[in-house]
């Protein structure tokens, strides 16, 4: 996963398919998010759960532990290592979801330029990316190093031709289980490793190269080109 995604629907459009039994605690607002080209360090909408309530908050894309000041904040975490490696140990139990409309990958072309592709669910439903992070719980203050990383896995099938990694995407039923603080860490790891959405759930198409500049925004960036 190269690190570019979209969040252009409103938060209520994302959570409508989750059948959340209680009212969402919404700190994001009701308007469309209108992020057609979100890059690392962008503040994005995320979902997390505290006790029995689900919260929509904003959080920076990228996180690193305080002792790793010699490297840029990672934006992704490999599913093969995230549960047991030392780097993400402090946030492994702090689970969240990054709801997106789609994400972008780049492929090297024969003309030595990079062709961007848009990847989305084939059924046009929201994409729920599994993530972990450091974020304030109700009643606590934000910290300067708050942020999140998206968990990625190996690509398989036709998606491998676009990129060798992809975000771990969960179906709505597993989103609730992933977010629930009562879900044991062992079960959370099992969800990531064995129960994410398969390649067959997605489709992809070429888009214009304007998406390569993160300053560019707008619906034209997601339009299919020949």
Distances (CA, A) of 137 to 19, 31, 213: 22, 24, 34
80 is catalytic: no
Q: From the candidates 51, 80, 105, 177, which is the catalytic residue? A: 105
Residue 163 in this model has a pLDDT that exceeds 90: no
Catalytic annotation present for 105: yes
Q: Report which secondary-structure segment, H or E, holds 48.
A: strand 43-50
- The region of weakest confidence among 29-43, 155-169, 206-220 is 155-169
Residue 154 has pLDDT above 90, yes or no: no
Q: What percent of the chain has pLDDT over 90?
A: 79
Phi, psi torsion values for 158, nearest 5 degrees: -65, -25
The structural domains of the chain, with segments of one domain joined by +, span: 5-222
Average pLDDT over residues 29-44: 97
Say whether pLDDT at 191 is over 70. Answer: yes
Strand order in the sheet with 114-121: 35-38, 5-7, 102-108, 114-121, 202-206
Please answer whether residues 116 and 211 qualify as being in contact, where contact means their C-beta atoms are separated by less than 8 angstroms: yes
Tell me which of 2, 177, 197, 203 is the catalytic residue: 2
Mean pLDDT of 150-177: 83
Q: What is the rounded distance in angstroms from the CA atom of residue 188 to the CA atom of residue 169?
A: 13
Q: What is the mean pLDDT of the chain?
A: 92
Phi, psi of 169 (to 5 degrees): -110, 135
Contact 156, 168 (CB under 8 A): no
Higher pLDDT, 21 or 37: 37
pLDDT band at 165 (very low <50, low <70, confident <90, very high): confident
State how far the Cα of 158 lies from the Cα of 67, in Å rounded to an integer: 39
Residue 110 has pLDDT above 80, yes or no: no
What are 54-64's pLDDT values in tens digits?
A: 999 999 999 99
By CB atoms closer than 10 A (0-12, 13-18, 19+), residue 91 is: buried
CATH fold of the domain at 5-222 = hypothetical protein yedk fold (3.90.1680)
Q: 204: closest CA among 155, 150, 154, 162?
A: 162
């Amino acid at each position: 996963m190269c690190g570019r995604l979209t969040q252009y629907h409103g938060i209520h459009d994302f959570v409508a398919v989750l059948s959340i039994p209680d009212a969402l605690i919404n700190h994001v607002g009701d308007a469309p998010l209108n992020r057609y080209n979100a890059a690392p360090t962008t503040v994005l909408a995320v979902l997390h759960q505290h006790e029995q309530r689900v919260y929509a908050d904003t959080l920076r894309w990228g996180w690193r532990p305080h002792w790793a000041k010699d490297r840029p904040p990672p934006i992704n975490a490999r599913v093969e290592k995230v549960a047991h490696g030392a780097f993400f140990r402090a946030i492994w139990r702090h689970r969240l979801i990054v709801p997106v409309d789609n994400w972008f990958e780049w492929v090297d072309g024969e003309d030595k330029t990079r062709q961007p592709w848009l990847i989305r669910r084939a059924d046009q439903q929201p994409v729920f990316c599994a993530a972990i992070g450091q974020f304030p719980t109700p009643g606590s203050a934000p910290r300067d190093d708050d942020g999140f990383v998206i968990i990625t896995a190996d690509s398989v099938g036709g998606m491998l031709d676009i990129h060798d990694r992809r975000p771990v995407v969960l179906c709505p039923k597993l989103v609730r289980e992933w977010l629930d603080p009562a879900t044991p860490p062992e079960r959370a790891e099992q969800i990531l490793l064995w129960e994410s959405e398969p390649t067959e759930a997605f489709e992809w198409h070429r888009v214009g190269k304007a998406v390569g500049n993160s300053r560019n925004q707008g619906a034209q960036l997601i339009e299919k080109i020949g």
